[in-house]
């Protein structure tokens, strides 16, 4: 039974393939394609003018939208790391964290650079 079903399905497929290919290649009525293209062009043109809205803004990364914050974060991390590595201790003689001794100037320098970048952007 299984072989009969396979042969029957193959014969049906062989008979249907030419019918399907003829349907795809059927000639269109004269001018039908041209009329369809013109209708679609008019529809698209009217949709553009009817909208009249500017295109949506381009997606920008977080760093380009917040240059001052990025500069502050990088300044804190860089300044604190440099202070920590150069001193080699966790706290200084007063008990204050050495990381903060470099992080505060890094914050000021980094956010200043970020402000310059922000004001130079369009």
pLDDT of residue 3: 65
Q: What percent of the chain has pLDDT over 70?
A: 66
**6, pLDDT greater than 80:** no
What pTM value is reported for the model? 0.51
Bridge partners, 91 (sequence order): 97
| pLDDT-based confidence at residue 17 (cuts at 50, 70, 90) | low
pLDDT of residue 88: 81
**50, pLDDT greater than 60:** no
Average pLDDT over residues 57-82: 90
| pLDDT-based confidence at residue 72 (cuts at 50, 70, 90) | very high
User: Which run of H or E residues covers position 114?
Assistant: helix 98-120
Q: Are 70 and 114 in contact (CB under 8 A)?
A: yes
User: Which run of H or E residues covers position 95?
Assistant: none
Helix axes 67-87, 98-120, angle to 10 degrees: 150
Least trusted range by pLDDT, from 20-29, 44-53, 88-97: 20-29
Residue 38: Cβ-neighbour burial (10 angstroms; 0-12, 13-18, 19+): exposed
Average pLDDT over residues 7-29: 60
């Amino acid at each position: 039974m299984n072989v009969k079903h396979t042969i029957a399905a193959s014969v049906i497929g062989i008979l249907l393939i030419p019918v399907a290919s003829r349907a795809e290649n059927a000639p269109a009525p004269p001018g039908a394609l041209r009329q369809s293209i013109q209708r679609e062009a008019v529809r698209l043109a009217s949709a553009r003018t009817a909208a009249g809205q500017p295109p949506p803004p381009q997606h920008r990364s977080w760093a380009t939208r917040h240059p001052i914050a990025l500069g502050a974060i990088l300044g804190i991390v860089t300044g604190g790391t440099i202070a920590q590595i150069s001193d080699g201790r966790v706290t200084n003689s007063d008990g204050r964290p050495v990381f903060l001794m470099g992080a505060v100037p890094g914050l000021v320098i980094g956010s200043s650079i970020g402000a310059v970048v922000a004001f130079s952007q369009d």
